[in-house]
Structure 1
Amino acid sequence: MADPVEIERKFLVARMPDLGDARRSSLRQGYVTRPEDSVEVRLRQTDDGHVLCLKSGEGIVRGEREVTLSAAQFDALWPQTEGRRIEKTRWTGPLDDGLVYELDVFAGDLAPLVMVEVEFPSEEAAARFVPPAWFGRDISDDKRFRNKALAIAGAPQPDDDADG
């Protein structure tokens, strides 16, 4: 059986869209793994519950496994993420072709960063995707914009090298 994968492209947001059809949720997530670790282990609390996620790989196709946690399990592990946390408001809404966007408005030290991600059923669909006008620069391959990197190093400066 193949490992579950996530095929995702990520963009900065050029301008905020109409969020009238979007669903809002609050997220906080922290990273158990250290910057030098090749596998990412993340805890996430949302309005809906608690999850432990393991991610591996590079680029737009990455391995991803999630395990639901109880609130007590989450609370027991959360202290291990000290210094490697982010908070954001996520807006989830429809795009053309049945796709869904997840727009993240970061809080705290990462404000005013706003990014949007889209998951795809295949690499071909990801390659064919034409982003709406409100999407900004494609940062799918820029490691500085991974949530783990943001939690550890903060938001990249606008004049930083875009290749990451």
Structure 2
Amino acid sequence: MKALIISDSHGWTHELKTIIDRHRNQVDVIFHCGDSELSENDEALKGVNVVRGNCDFGDDFPEELIESVGGVTFFVAHGHHYNVKMTYVPLSYRAEEHQANVTCFGHSHVATAFMENEVLYINPGSIRLPRQHPQGTYCICEYDEKEISVTFFNTHGENIPELTVAFKRK
């Protein structure tokens, strides 16, 4: 199973569409973790599972998503309701409630991926306004019976090896 995960594009349509089109045929699912600042009818979000962020207004997107893809349960939220800039504890409780294998979130604009209590947590960073990394970022998560990997890319599609991680499955 492969998932493209993007967040915090903050109104960028051309760049967002370019990234999605680059990987659309290589992945099983696409998630946007909020703050797209676009409407659900925007061409850039065609075929994308999107949650609402704190900069998304209206009711176009749900606050969170639970999606099962290829036997992997994803919990997706922007993160602002879970205080992710300070702690991951409330987010982890919600992920546990949904029995998520992978939890995707944004809000902090900081690209990271880590395992805790056998749940993979992914923040793809921001393609427009990155923090703690000089380039805009997004990622692809690959999940199979032996390994889970998260490969980070800059907006030009170039791999960022220092952010990329892999975890052996138990």
TM-score by length of 1: 0.27
| Larger RCO (alpha carbons 8 Å, 6+ apart) | 1
- The structure having more radius of gyration, on CA atoms, is 1
TM-score by length of 2: 0.26
